[in-house]
Structure formats: C-alpha cells, structure tokens
Amino acid sequence: MVSKKQRNLILLLLFIGWAIGNFDRYFINYAILSITEDLQLSPTSTGLILSSFFAGYALMQIPGGWLADKFGSRRVLIVSVLMWSIFTAMTGAVWSLTSMIIIRFLFGIGEGGFQPSSSKLISQTFPSSKRAWAMSIMLSTSGIVSLIVPVLSVYMLTTIGWRVSFLVLGAIGLIISVFYWIFIKLPEGIKEEEFKPVGANQESVFKQLIKTPLMLNLFIAYYSIYAINWGLATWLPTYLVNIRGLDLISLGWVQTIPGLAMVFAIFLSGYVIDRLPEGREKVIGAISCVLIGCILYLMFNAPNVTMFITYQTIVIMFISFIMLLLPAIILKRLPSSVIGTSMGVANTGGQLAGFITPLAIGFIVQMFNGSYDAAFWMLIIFAIICMVSLLTLNYRKGGLLQAEQ
C-alpha cells in the first residue's frame, strides 16, 4: 500500500508537472508574435507551427499509454518530462521554419506520454474513491495556468526575449524530471490489479480495447466535449472582438471570469464525482451535456456582452465537469493494468478535436461570410453527440470488463 504522505507527494509532483507542461504549451501562443517577426514568417507558416504540437501530441497518446502499461508509469513519466524539456529548450535555438516545426512536433511527442502515464500512476496509488479528486487536482492546472500565462508570458518576452524564455522553461522541466526520478517511488509490494486479457496475451490488449464498446463511446465523448472546449477557446476572442465589439484590454479582463469558474468547477466536480452512486455518473453527465447545448444556444443569442459572458461562465463549468467525468470513468471502471493504454485511446479523440475543430470553425465562418451561427450550431450538435455517447455507455459489455469482473 502507498501511504497517504507518499500519495500526496506524488500528487504534488504531478500537479507541478502538469502546470509546467501547460505553461510550455500555452507560452508559444504569445511568443509566436516575436517568433513570426524574427523569422519573417507568413500567417500560413505561423499556423503550421501552432498546429505541429497537436499533431505530435495526438499521435503519442496511444503509444504513450501502451508504454506506461508495458514498462511502468514512473519510467514513461520521467522520459516524457525529460523529452519535452529538451525540445522546449531547443525551441529557443531554432534557425528556420522547418526546424521550428520539427522541434514543436517532437515537443508534442514528448508531452504526449505524460497524461496517460500520470493517469496510470493515479490508478496505482489512489483508491478508487479518491481518483476523481486526484484527477481534478491535476486538471485544475489548465485553468490556473490560463489565468497567469498572459501576464507572465508578456513579462518574460519583454525582459529576456523568446529564445532565453524557452531555454529557462526547458531548464525548469529538466529539474522537474530529476525530482520525479528521486521522489516518485512505488513500494515493491504494489502491483497492477490482477488482470489477464481474455483469450489473448498482453500484446493484444490494444486490440481488445478498441473492440470494447465502452472505449468507442468514450472516444466519441472525448472528441465531442473537447470539440466544444477547443472551439470556444480558439475562436471566442475573435468572435468577441469582431462581432461583439470588445477591445483587447476588455477582452482580457472579462475572460478571467470563465477562467476562475473553470478552476472552481474542476475542484467541485472531483468532489461530486467521487460521491455519485454507481451508474449515476453517466446520467448526470448526459444531463450536463443537454444543459451545455441549451446554454450554447442562449450564448450566441445573448442580447449583450454581459449576458454572453454569464452564459459562457456557466457553460464552462458544465464542460469542466464532463472533462473530468470522462477520465474518472476510465480510472474507476478499468483495471490499472490497462489504464495507460485506455487513457491514450480516449484522449486521442480529445486531441484530434483540438486539431480539427478550430480549422472547421474557420472554414464555416468563411463559408457563411463571417457569421458564427452555423459554428455555434455545430458545437450544440457535439453536445448532443456527447449526451448519446454517455447514455449508451455499457460497463458490462466487452471482454476487458468481463475479465475484470
């Protein structure tokens, strides 16, 4: 058994790792202004740089989870942090567009193994009743970082420049990887849950997972909720400026309100999910998806900016609940021996949504001559798809779950 003190230390280290990873990921969105000027890049080239990370990140989700299941969560965590730190530092030494795209792609590959391996580590060290809470602590870093990254990024860029900034962030990551090596230790007595794939050896776990209806539903749900999340995150600033008439300073201030709501909602969701009666989580999740769809409709029909931000704040809270509920289902319903691979399979859907949805919205807005109505309807449809995916979750159908039970 892992002691409470050791569990808390592991959770603290994972929290710091997720925070640094999120900051490294978001910092490029501000640094790209200086990078574009220094390297004399076109808008198309800038887009390639920003999307290259998501390409590598999405591609590594399933392999990263498989590696964590096969070689252990600790090893993959350390390698992941080490790899993304090296390529973060190398970003500060790029000399051309090609080198930047390759390095950011490899950065995505490095960070891609972190979420599935850290999720597996949670399943190994926390009891089932505490896993959603532990996951909520880690996911809260996204909301926290989104609050501090604008101010801190501008300060770093104006004082030490983008090249030195990436070198500093890479050095911090290397220090974190050393901490992981020293302090993340699993007692010798701890082992994976007793689990043997039905009629197959360990190498066929992936094939069994993708044939399990539960994983298909989770993949679709992940894609749908992250399509809504990334669709709003990437296009709302442009929408609020161009359609609602906000200036950039006002935009920055009003968007702190949904950011704070996201942090609060993640912590609250972790508490609630761990206390839901067995089987009720998918019903509560489906109801939340219905509410997301309804509030999205109210958002784009809001009569003024105040009401729009109010609806946005509410919808972000429900989105945060679903984004925590989905990994909690994996952590609670599947044996820890396949948590890494399972999380990788499901999260691939979310990362594909992050890559595809912003492009789709841009195409839709252009096709409808600057109108965002069709884009909002697309997000509402994704809320309905997510609802159906959750309602049709079947925990007992499929070889993996039969094997566990």
Reading the block at residue 78, the tokens are 């350390």
Q: What residue ranges of the chain have pLDDT lower than 70? A: 1, 43-44, 47, 150, 187-207, 248-249, 252, 336, 395-405
Give residue 194's pLDDT: 38
Question: 310-332, pLDDT tens digit by residue?
Answer: 999 999 999 999 998 998 888 77
| Domain ranges, ordered by start, for the chain | 1-127+160-183, 205-391
Tokens standing for 375? 């884009």
pLDDT value for 298: 96
The whole-model pTM stands at: 0.74
Average pLDDT, the chain: 82
pLDDT of the residue at 396: 66
Q: What is the pLDDT of residues 164-218, one digit of tens each?
A: 999 999 999 999 999 999 988 876 545 544 334 444 444 566 667 777 788 889 9
Q: What pLDDT is stored for residue 307 in this prediction?
A: 95
pLDDT at position 227: 92
Neighbouring C-beta atoms of residue 279, cutoff 10 Å: 9
Answer whether CATH 2.30.38.10 is correct for domain 1-127+160-183. no
CATH architecture of 205-391: Up-down Bundle (1.20)
> What pLDDT, on a 0 to 100 scale, did the predictor assign at position 83?
93
**Topology alike, domains 1-127+160-183 and 205-391:** yes
pLDDT of residue 180: 92
